[in-house]
Amino acid sequence: MIEDLTTILDHLVLVWLAQDKTHKGEAQEITLHEHPDLQLVPRLRRWLAYLASHGITTGPLFRHVLKSGVPASAETRAKKAPVRGGYLRPATVDERVKLWFAKAGLVTDGRPVSSHGLRAGAATGLAEAEASVSDIREAGRWAEGSTIPERVYVRPVKDASKDPFENVRRPA
């Protein structure tokens, strides 16, 4: 929600979360850091200014844009999708991420980047940079004690760095 963006500075954005699937009933504030290749802050500011130019200052941050280029208001979308209102479906978010990354020529191993891949790629990048499992768990907002970061992201990176033949004697 637009109103959940509590602070936007040049180097970070603070977002208030009421809860998520891992932290049910646990409100918290997360920090999204600016990164030169992402340009999160300037892009977010442009999007918010664009929404405001159409009179939208509250409600869903990511929303459907009509063919005319006008962002749909919650009222407009509520007529067509009464349950979802102005929100985007998860499949739509994934479709847009794939489209935008493909148009930018950004692919991973020849495969399109997906919305899930953004989170997974960040965890793998942290593992490759030798971040601790607890840091990866915290950055990815996995539940305390979750083994997913270690099993899915850290172990494969560590396994890939090992050469099973490194201790085999080489002929002189």
> Is position 167 within any domain?
no
- For the stretch 78-131, pLDDT in tens is 555 555 556 677 788 888 888 877 777 776 666 667 777 776 777 878 888 888
| One-letter amino acid of 158 | K
| pLDDT tens digits for range 32-70 | 777 776 677 888 899 899 989 988 898 888 887 777 878
Domain count across the chain: 1
Determine, yes or no, domain membership for 16: no
Is 3 a domain residue?
no
**Which of left, alpha, beta for 7 (phi over 0: left; psi -120 to 50: alpha)?**
beta
Residue 58 covered by a domain: no
**Dist CA 105 CA 155 (whole Å):** 29
Q: Quote the CA–CA distance of 103 and 100 in Å, as a whole number.
A: 5
Contacts of 149 (CB under 8 A, 6+ apart): 123, 127, 133, 136, 137, 140, 142
Residue 117 lies in domain: 90-162
What is this structure's pTM?
Answer: 0.59
CA angle 141, 94, 13 (to 5 degrees): 45
- 99 belongs to a structural domain: yes
> Residue 96: inside a domain, yes or no?
yes
